[in-house]
Structures are given as C-alpha cells and as structure tokens.
Amino acid sequence: MTNPRILAHFQESADLKMKAASVLAQPIEQAIELMFTALSNGNKILACGNGGSAADSQHFAAELVGRFERERLPLPALALTTDTSILTAVGNDYSYQEIFSKQVQAFGQSGDILLAFSTSGNSGNILAAIEVAHERDMRVVALTGKGGGKIGKVLNDADVHICVPHDRTARIQEVHLVTLHCICDGIDVALFGDDAHE
C-alpha cells in the first residue's frame, strides 16, 4: 500500500507547479529575454543562494557552461557559492553577509545579470549582493517565495522578480528548479532556434 504522506508530497508539488505556471510564465519570459540579451552582448550571469538555493545556483551555472539539452558553445555563468577559500575568507575577515557582495564587486560589470535565489526573500547576504549589483549597473533576476520578502521591495523596474506563490520551502525550491530549466531552454531557443531536444 502506498504511503499517503508520499502521495501528498507529489500531489502538492504538482498542484503548485500548475498554479505557478500561469503566475510565473510572464516573469520567466522576461528573465529569458534579459539573460539572452546580456549573453548576446558578451556579458555574463552571476548566481548566488544559500543552502538548497546554493545548489540551484550551481546547477544553473553548470547548465550554461556545459549544456542543457543540445550541443552548443559554453555560455558565461558563474556560481558565487563554490569557492570555499573566498567564502570562508570573506566570512571570517568581514562577515557572512558579504560573501556574495564582495564577489559581485570583484566580478560583476555593467550589463551582467545577477541571478539571486532566496526562498524567504529575506536572506541578508543576497540582499547585499543585489545592492552591489545595482551599484554596478547590473540587472537582477530574483527567485523567491513567501511573498518575496525584503528582496521584493529592493528590486527596481529593470529587474525581474519570479516569486513562487507558496510558503513551504521545499515546494518553492521545486518550482525554482522547473523555472531554471525553463530559463535554460528559453536561452537555447533564443540562441539557436526551436529545434530543441536534439
């Protein structure tokens, strides 16, 4: 007999994904256009997040530098969550709040994109990274949940906010993953046409 708790996880996830599809389709399309334009102009995407969202930022960078579903040239994306020497040096010498903002200062340039993950919308180090990105004339694509939190309030009209309409972290992260795959597919289609899955 199937465990009803397991079935409930699948059902809640499926229900949310269908609900989120109609709410998030437009901002996801805007994010694709923003990233495609940046990449076409020789700019790059910097990604950051904490915990499971750190894994999402690394997943995204891997899909761009490697490939998503078709062979193509590598695309410039960098996860700011991977260099333990930088993370621990900045965390120790300054504060954990600055582990991403210092890297945005170092690597971010005008025209680049910051892809920022925070399921709560309130992560201090993500907010600090967004502030520096704005100072450096970068655009921000923020993936949040739980109403968007503080991040939703600091984004400007040039940014894109993809806010999952849910309060449960696990469900928000599941929609973030589908969103990443939508973005990767959208970038590939924008670059190479609509003959994906080759």
The binding site for substrate consists of: 50-52, 63, 92-93, 118-120, 123, 173
Best CA proximity match to 158, nearest among 103, 100, 113, 107: 113
- Residue list, annotated binding site for Zn(2+): 59, 63, 173, 181
- Residue list, annotated binding site: 50-52, 59, 63, 92-93, 118-120, 123, 173, 181
Instruction: Give SS3 for 179.
Output: helix
Can you name the residues that pair with 162 across neighbouring β-strands? 143
Instruction: Give SS3 for 76.
Output: coil
Burial of 53 (0-12, 13-18, 19+ CB in 10 A): buried
**Tokens, residue 81:** 């969550």
C-alpha atoms less than 13 angstroms from C-alpha of 57 in its C-beta half-sphere: 29
Round to whole Å and give the CA distance between 144 and 155: 12
Can you name the residues that pair with 143 across neighbouring β-strands? 117, 162
- How many other β-carbons are positioned within 10 Å of the β-carbon of residue 194? 8
Q: Are 116 and 148 in contact (CB under 8 A)?
A: no
